[in-house]
Amino acid sequence: MHKIALAAQRVLSAPRWPDEIGTEVWEALRGEAFRVLATQKALRGFINTTILAHEDFSSALTAHLARKLGDRYLSPERLEDVIREATANNPELIETGLRDLMAALARDPAADSYLTPFLYYKGYHALQWQRISHWLWNNRQKDIARFLQNRMSEVFAVDIHPAVPIGRGVFIDHATGVVIGETATIGNDVSILQNVTLGGTGKEQGDRHPKIGDGVLLSVGAKVLGNITVGARAKVGAGSIVLKEVPPCATVAGIPARVVGWCRDVVVAPGLSMDQSLPEPDYTI
């Protein structure tokens, strides 16, 4: 892990969020943008519009997200107004946007700078739009929240219900095919890979979706179904189907999933380490 990613991971673990962190991230983004301009002249207009034309992180993120989802029904300019309303009433949305960006840098070895996930990671973009939609949902603007959910599904291939509360420092890697149902909840420092589903088991009503604890890793293609809890620091193996409660610190895998290991001696939570490997089986064939 490179030095910037290590620094990002250390900051993510801090409960307080000093204003200086936002300034440092923004200065790093601008520095990275100037380095791109020095070698990639074809991207001059794009880099100027997305980064260098703005005074701070909030302004740049607002404009970039709005351009991603703007269409003939809701223009980028109108969507910027929607985002500004949400962030003015809940400034924590900017902090969570910073934390999510740092999480992407810290956990994805393909992210070589803050600029890469900020500009190009649709998992990051979808997560920020879901946070805005969640604010709208909770403030009697459910129709526009649903509109944005639909647009996110069309543009990012990610379908997260706006009612879902999501903790800080969350990373959605690759993101294609991620589906998260209405009554799910997601804790802090969770990592979710492509084709993960947090869904129901049928046509039941009410509270019917999974509850994901802090520090959980949901590996590629994992399906967690029903109103069940995946305990803190648990790991769900790739391609697994989880139909029962997952204890804290357990590693589960299989169809249906069963406990195949424990992380009690692991210092770093699976959601932070991104280690999808499973313990060796205790038998041979």
CB 249 within 8 A of CB 255: no
Beta strands in 53-169 (DSSP E): 158-160
At 13, the amino acid letter reads S
How is the chain split into domains, by residue range? 1-158, 177-277
As a whole number, mean pLDDT of residues 125-153 equals 98
Helix (H, G, I), strand (E, B) or coil at 36: helix
- Which residues on adjacent β-strands are paired with residue 223? 197, 241
pLDDT band at 280 (very low <50, low <70, confident <90, very high): confident
- Predicted confidence (pLDDT) per residue in 186-205, tens digit: 999 999 999 999 999 987 88
Q: Is the pLDDT of residue 279 over 90?
A: no
Question: Can you identify the CATH homologous superfamily of domain 1-158?
Answer: serine acetyltransferase, domain 1 (1.10.3130.10)
pTM for the whole structure: 0.92
pLDDT band at 151 (very low <50, low <70, confident <90, very high): very high
Q: How far apart are CA 97 and CA 101, in angstroms?
A: 6
Mean pLDDT of the chain: 92
72: phi then psi, degrees, rounded to nearest 5: -75, -15
- Predicted confidence (pLDDT) per residue in 154-178, tens digit: 999 999 999 999 999 999 999 999 9
pLDDT band at 73 (very low <50, low <70, confident <90, very high): very high
As a whole number, mean pLDDT of residues 9-16 equals 54
Q: Is the pLDDT of residue 283 over 60?
A: no
pLDDT of residue 8: 55
Query: Which CATH number, 3.40.50.720, 3.90.550.10, 1.10.40.60, 2.160.10.10, labels domain 177-277?
Result: 2.160.10.10
As a whole number, mean pLDDT of residues 87-93 equals 96
pLDDT of residue 20: 78
197: phi then psi, degrees, rounded to nearest 5: -125, 130
CB 115 within 8 A of CB 33: yes
pLDDT of residue 4: 56
CA distances from 230 to 29, 190, 198 (A): 35, 11, 11
CB 179 within 8 A of CB 198: yes
pLDDT band at 11 (very low <50, low <70, confident <90, very high): low
pLDDT band at 87 (very low <50, low <70, confident <90, very high): very high
Q: Is the pLDDT of residue 37 over 80?
A: yes
Helix (H, G, I), strand (E, B) or coil at 218: strand
Assess whether the region 1-158 and the region 177-277 belong to the same CATH fold. no
pLDDT of residue 285: 47
